[in-house]
Structures are given as structure tokens and as C-alpha cells.
Amino acid sequence: MRTARKLTAVAASAALVVSGALLSAPAAHAATISVTDVNCSTGTNTGTAITASPGDTLDFTATLTDCDLIKVPTSMVDSASAVTIAPSGSRTVSIAAGQYLVATGSTADFTSLQVTLSSSARSGTIDVLSDLGATGETSWAITITGGGSGGGGSSSSTAGSAPAPVIQQFGRPASGTCEEAAPADLNVAGVGSGGWGESWAQWVNGGTGGAVCTRTLSYVASGWTVS
């Protein structure tokens, strides 16, 4: 079943929660751009090319049936918290190949979806996919006026545009240590293992909360590291 595939994918990738405020303020006269050509029910689709400015918000206003995952280059936003989704559920975030992968952590599809571009956003491509990327996909080429041309990859970061810290979490095992139980696929963006502590989070145990293993990734000049 589609729901079962979605839950399996979410469980396999554990959960990452974004914390910290945006490092750059939006432009003073930022605009909201409606994106209506979203189709997550069929195969790969090319959306209408979009021209935006740093600080603008892309509002995906069409029916988002079957849409569960959005891929946003790290060069376009300050952090994954710039992606606002509903229902938020226990939203999951990972970083791979210079992209924030933001998905619902529940069985529900997106009902609303917005992306706020950073004040130093660079041109790139945004993808919205269904069933955690298993089937339908729509891709938009985003041209940033007054910004650079970063393609889909990550750009060199400065102190003013570095991504915010990312908190990684997974449910604490019934036995053994967090270090022993940590999934290898959480070592994203070149970070190593280790650095795990214990905390409490609302998203585990079906949203009722419980003990989790947690650590924080921070971006420095050379890339992501465990802080």
C-alpha cells in the first residue's frame, strides 16, 4: 500500500528537526509567487519556469494530492525551516547532494506548501515529488534576479549565508546506547558518526512523545560537522 511505503521510508531515514532562526532577513519588498502547475499523481513533469527575487516566497497553491516530499537546493534558502508545510506532522529533513529534502512525517499529503527564498538565494531547481520520490514529480527552474547562478548544487557559504544548525534525532532504543543504534544514513553531507546524547521529543511514539537520541550538525567553512 502507498501509505505503508511512505511510513517505511520515513522510519528508515529517522527524523531530523531544524532549529535556529534564519540567518538573513527577507528583502524589504518580498513578493509571494503562486505556483499552480503541481502534479504529483503522474510521471515526471516540467513546471513553468519561475523568475523570483531574493526574499520572495513561492506558494504552491494547486491541489497537492500525492505530494509528500520537496527538494530545495541549500543555495536557495537559509535552512530547511524556510520550507513551510501542512500538515507539519513530525516533519523529516535530510541534507544530500546540496539539497534539503523535506517531507511530511505523517501519512497525509501536503495540503499547503511554501518556500521562502533567502536574501542571498541563487538560481536553481525545486522539485516536488510523491510517495517520498517513488512516482510523480514536478520540477521548476527558478531564476533569481539579482542573485547568482548556483544550479542545483550547494554554493560556497559565508558567515552571512551559512545554513542554520540542524538537529538530528531518532527514537531511543529499548536497549543499548545511542551510539550503537544510530542509523548510518544519518551521517549525511560528509559528517561522521558519534556525538549522540539523549533528550525528549514530541514526534516519537505516534506523536505522544518520548525519549530520543539527538545531536546537532553545524555548518562551518569546510562544510557540515557534528557540534
Tens-of-pLDDT digits for all 227 residues of the chain? 333 333 223 333 344 443 332 223 333 457 888 888 888 877 778 888 888 888 889 998 877 888 888 889 888 898 888 898 888 777 888 887 788 888 887 767 888 899 999 888 888 888 888 866 667 888 888 888 864 333 333 333 333 456 677 778 788 888 888 888 888 777 777 777 888 888 887 767 766 778 888 888 777 766 778 87
- In this predicted structure, what is the pLDDT of residue 207? 64
- In this predicted structure, what is the pLDDT of residue 28? 42
pTM of model > 0.75:
no
Cα–Cα distance measured from residue 169 to residue 50, given in angstroms and rounded to the nearest whole number: 35
Query: Across the strands, what pairs with 33?
Result: 58
- In this predicted structure, what is the pLDDT of residue 219? 75
Cα–Cα distance measured from residue 8 to residue 44, given in angstroms and rounded to the nearest whole number: 23
- In this predicted structure, what is the pLDDT of residue 167? 76
- Separation in Å, CA 23 to CA 89, 116, 150, 159: 25, 13, 19, 9
Asked if 187 and 226 touch (Cβ cutoff 8 Å), the reply is: no
